[in-house]
């Protein structure tokens, strides 16, 4: 299959598995995207800096650089599922990205990390669940490996020894790893950034997603809700 066929395939997977209709995104022209959003005239320069698929909400387009296109199809399918999921989220909750940028401008680290981790967690959840339904052993295995990496990365953060030092520095009981992570984000958001995917998946995998649409339209409002999914459930059930 070519890239457009894979886009159609992944889009249909999401629509069929989650019973949610949304406008299918388009594949962005790599050179035009490089010039417009990265101000880079050389495509080679762009690919030197980035080896990741990106979703652009302004165009409802997916930018997928050549290194990913040329990789094995299982990874390409996962990337397209992930970016399709971003398209779905932005269409169901049009204010989501706007809020994320607003709090970034105000340097509200807690809320910015909340919105970021939720958005990435939703995308990974949708991609992983769709991989399981493909019936393709290599795609299923790729999704399973991604799920294991997300869980293991957070596990390693909790038990790599650094958290014990943070517990002493922040004067927070070691058993309250969520509180330590919140403080970690406040003090060093750049170091915490890579864990946004893991934290987001931690949240969504522990949240009732019988209605994915409802979850997307009602994102958590604080990092504490992300790290304590039970508090998010209580708030939503009371509304």
Residues in the chain: 239
Residues 6+ apart with CB under 8 A from 201: 120, 121, 124, 125, 147, 150, 151
- pLDDT tens digits for 226-238? 999 988 875 554 4
DSSP per-residue codes, 89-111 = HHHH-TTHHHHHHHHHHTT-HHH
The Cα 9–Cα 4 span in angstroms is 9
Classified as helix, coil or strand, 26 is strand
**Two tokens, residue 131:** 């991989």
pLDDT at 143 over 90: yes
Confidence of residue 165 (pLDDT cuts 50, 70, 90): confident
User: What per-residue confidence (pLDDT) applies to 54?
Assistant: 85
C-alpha dihedral sign at 13, 115, 237, 151: positive
pTM above 0.85, yes or no: yes
CB 49 within 8 A of CB 165: no
């Amino acid at each position: 299959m070519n890239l457009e066929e894979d886009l159609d395939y992944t889009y249909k997977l999401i629509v069929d598995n989650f019973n949610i209709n949304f406008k299918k995104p388009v594949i962005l022209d790599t050179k035009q995207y490089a010039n417009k959003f990265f101000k880079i005239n050389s495509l080679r320069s762009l690919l030197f800096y980035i080896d990741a698929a990106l979703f652009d909400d302004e165009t409802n387009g997916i930018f997928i650089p050549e290194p990913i296109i040329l990789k094995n199809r299982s990874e390409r399918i996962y990337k397209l599922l992930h970016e399709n999921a971003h398209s779905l989220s932005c269409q169901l909750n049009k204010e989501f990205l706007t809020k994320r940028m607003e709090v970034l401008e105000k340097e509200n680290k807690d809320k910015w990390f909340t919105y970021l981790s939720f958005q990435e967690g939703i995308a990974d959840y949708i991609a992983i669940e769709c991989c399981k339904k493909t019936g393709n052993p290599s795609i299923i295995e790729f999704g399973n490996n991604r799920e294991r990496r997300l869980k293991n990365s957070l596990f390693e953060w909790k038990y790599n020894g650094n958290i014990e030092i943070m517990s002493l520095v922040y004067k927070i009981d070691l058993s309250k790893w969520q509180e330590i992570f919140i403080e970690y984000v406040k003090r060093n958001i750049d170091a915490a950034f890579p864990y946004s995917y893991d934290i987001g998946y931690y949240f969504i995998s522990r949240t009732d997603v019988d209605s994915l649409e409802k979850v997307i339209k009602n994102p958590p409002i604080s990092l504490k809700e992300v790290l304590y999914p039970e508090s998010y459930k209580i708030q939503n059930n009371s509304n």
